[in-house]
Structure 1
Amino acid sequence: MIAGIGHDLVNVAQFAQQMQDSNGWRALFSVRELRQCDLRAQAKNDEKALHIAARWAGKEAVIKAWSEALCTINNPYPYTLDNMPWASIEILNDSHGCPRVILSADVHSQLVKSLFSASSECVDSSEHVDSSNR
Structure 2
Amino acid sequence: MIVGIGVDVVDLARFERALSRTPGLRERLFAEGERELPLRSLAGRFAAKEALMKALGETDGIRWVDMVVTTDAHGDPDLALSGRAAEIASRRGIDRVHVSMSHDAGIATAFVVAESSGRRPDLGERS
Q: TM-score range by the shorter chain?
A: 0.5 to 0.7
Aligned AA for 1:34?
A: R
Instruction: Determine the structure 2 residue equivalent to 1:51.
Output: 41
Distance 1:92 1:99 in 2: 6
Instruction: Determine the structure 2 residue equivalent to 1:86.
Output: 64
1:58, CA displacement in angstroms?
A: 0.4
1:105, CA displacement in angstroms?
A: 5.4
Report SS of the residue matched to 1:31. coil
- Structure 2 unaligned blocks of 5 or more: 94-119
Kindly indicate which of the two structures has a greater share of residues assigned to helix: 1
Aligned AA for 1:62?
A: L
Kindly indicate which of the two structures has a greater share of residues assigned to strand: 2
How many matched pairs?
A: 100
TM-score by length of 2: 0.67
C-alpha contact (below 8 Å) 1:90/1:102 kept by paired residues:
yes
Instruction: Determine the structure 2 residue equivalent to 1:23.
Output: 23
Identical-pair percentage:
28
- Structure 1 unaligned blocks of 5 or more: 38-47, 68-76, 125-134
Work out which structure has the larger RCO, using CA pairs closer than 8 Å and 6 or more positions apart in sequence.
2
Distance 1:123 1:4 in 2: 17
C-alpha contact (below 8 Å) 1:19/1:49 kept by paired residues:
no
| Distance verdict in 2 for CA 1:99–1:123, change over 3 Å | closer
Matched, 1:104 2:82: yes
CA RMSD, aligned part only?
Answer: 2.2
C-alpha contact (below 8 Å) 2:3/2:55 kept by paired residues:
yes
Give 1 or 2 for the bigger CA radius of gyration.
1
1:22, CA displacement in angstroms?
A: 1.3
Structure 1: 4+ residue segments shifted above 6 A:
none
1:114, CA displacement in angstroms?
A: 3.7
TM-score by length of 1: 0.63
